[in-house]
Every structure is written in C-alpha cells, then in structure tokens.
Homo-oligomer: A and B are copies of this chain.
Amino acid sequence: MPIERRPLREQIREELLSRLDRGDFAAGTDINEASLAAELGVSRTPLREALITLAGEGVLESNQGRGFRFAPVSRKEFRELCEIVAALESLALDCSDAAHLRGIAPELLRLAQEFPDRVAEQQVIERHDDEWHDLLLSGCRNERLLDLITSVKAGMRRYAHLLAGDETPLEREAAEHRRVAELLVDGDLAKASQALRDNWVNGMERMMSRIPADG
C-alpha cells in the first residue's frame, strides 16, 4: 500500500475543518499560532500555511499585525454563500453528462429515501448530506467548478454545527432531495436543476432563525 505523503499544511487544514464541524471553535475568536501549533504537534510554519489557505476560502479573516481569527457568522453572509453554491451546483448539474445522471438517479433516490430513517448523530447526518451532493455532481465534467464548490463549501462549514439538535429541517431536506432525484429519473434536467436551486434557497431559509441576527 502507498504510504501517505502529502504536505502538513493540507493535513492541518483538514484537521481544523473537522474541528470546526464539531463546533470546537467559536466564530469570531482569535487564533494563537504558537499554542495551536503546539497542540497539533507541528511548527508555526505549516500551520500558518494552512491558515492562509483557510483565509482564502473565507473560513478565517486576517488583519495586519493581529493574526488570524475565525470569521464571524452572519445571516447576510450565510445567505450570500447559499446563493453562490446554489448557482454553482446548478451549473455543475447543467455541465453533467445526461447519461451518467440517469445512471445514478436511482441511487440518489434511494439515498434520499433512507435519509431520515436513521436516527443518527449530527455529524453522520451531515456526512450523508454531503455524500448525496457529491454523488449528484459526480458526473460534472467541469473540474475547476467542482474544486470551486468544495472551496466555497469549506467556507460554509462554520455554520454546520448551528444545525445540531433539530430534526424537522432534515425531513424537508430529504423530501427535496427526493424531488431532485425523481426529476433526474424522469430525465428532466432543467427541472432538476431548478429543484436543486430551490433546495439551497429553502435550506437557507430554514437555517436563518438559528443564526444570530446581524450586528
């Protein structure tokens, strides 16, 4: 088996993102490079490289002389991010191979149907949701677009843990996923694309009340 050989900065980035998913970091808090580097068991250099990458993705902010901090959350920004991802995923669907979409449509439907059945912890649900979207876009031939979507979604991870606790939205999320899948089974790409956009817009509305009001 090929042993793992990739830059520390990437591993650090992923570790920080997964901690963000777990809600370990409060939005708006400063990062102390020395202590975080010590905690991760690495030096400040690759840590700073990871922080710079995350800042480029909008997860962090940087101020001259003041270092990095987790970007504060706001309803305005969340709305903006949802609008962007809705447009990008919709475009990705339009760029996808129609035959491939028909092929995966049943699997998408199956995944959407078993969605709310499992009473699982938050992180499992989120992973499930991500997998559904990943599979949906797996036929997109625009590689740059897929990278961009991944990057923008990283910026949304700050909002993930705010969803914890309430199950109601998930049922509607699953219903919307079913709707998209059914349209793909029918081969109606245009309507599926529209349903996907609606899914993001509705998901955004559902989240709004959970985000602290903008300052």
Binding site for B on A (CB under 8 A): 5-7, 9, 45, 48-49, 52-53, 56-58, 62, 64, 77, 80-81, 83-84, 87-88, 91, 95, 142-145, 147-148, 151-152, 155
Q: Which residues on B sit within 8 Å (CB–CB) of A87?
A: 87-88, 91
- Docked Cα-Cα span, A87 to B147, in Å, equals 16
Which of A9, A56, A95, A147 has the most CB atoms of chain B within a 10 A radius of its CB?
A56
Q: Which residues on B sit within 8 Å (CB–CB) of A88?
A: 84, 87
Chain B nearest CB, measured from A141 CB (Å) = 8
Given contacts A52-B9, A151-B56, A152-B148, contact A91 B80 (CB under 8 A): no
Q: Which residues on B sit within 8 Å (CB–CB) of A64?
A: 5-7
Q: Which residues on B sit within 8 Å (CB–CB) of A84?
A: 88, 91, 142, 144-145, 148
Indicate if the CB atoms of B58 and A57 lie closer than 8 Å: no
Q: Which residues on B sit within 8 Å (CB–CB) of A95?
A: 83
Given contacts A56-B53, A56-B57, A57-B56, contact A80 B48 (CB under 8 A): no
Chain B nearest CB, measured from A55 CB (Å) = 8
Q: Which residues on B sit within 8 Å (CB–CB) of A80?
A: 142-145
Q: Which residues on B sit within 8 Å (CB–CB) of A147?
A: 58
Given contacts A56-B56, A151-B56, contact A81 B144 (CB under 8 A): yes
- Docked Cα-Cα span, A6 to B66, in Å, equals 11
Q: Which residues on B sit within 8 Å (CB–CB) of A148?
A: 84, 148, 152
Which of A7, A56, A144, A155 has the most CB atoms of chain B within a 10 A radius of its CB?
A144
- Docked Cα-Cα span, A143 to B95, in Å, equals 26
Instruction: Please name 17 further chain A to chain B contacts, defined as beta carbons within 8 Å, in addition to the given A5-B64, A83-B95, sorted by A numbering.
Output: A6-B64, A7-B62, A48-B49, A53-B53, A56-B56, A56-B151, A58-B147, A77-B143, A80-B142, A80-B143, A80-B144, A83-B145, A84-B145, A84-B148, A87-B88, A87-B91, A148-B148
- Docked Cα-Cα span, A5 to B91, in Å, equals 40
Q: Which of B5, B7, B77, B145 is in CB contact (< 8 Å) with A144?
A: B77
**Nearest residue, chain B, Cβ from A77:** B144
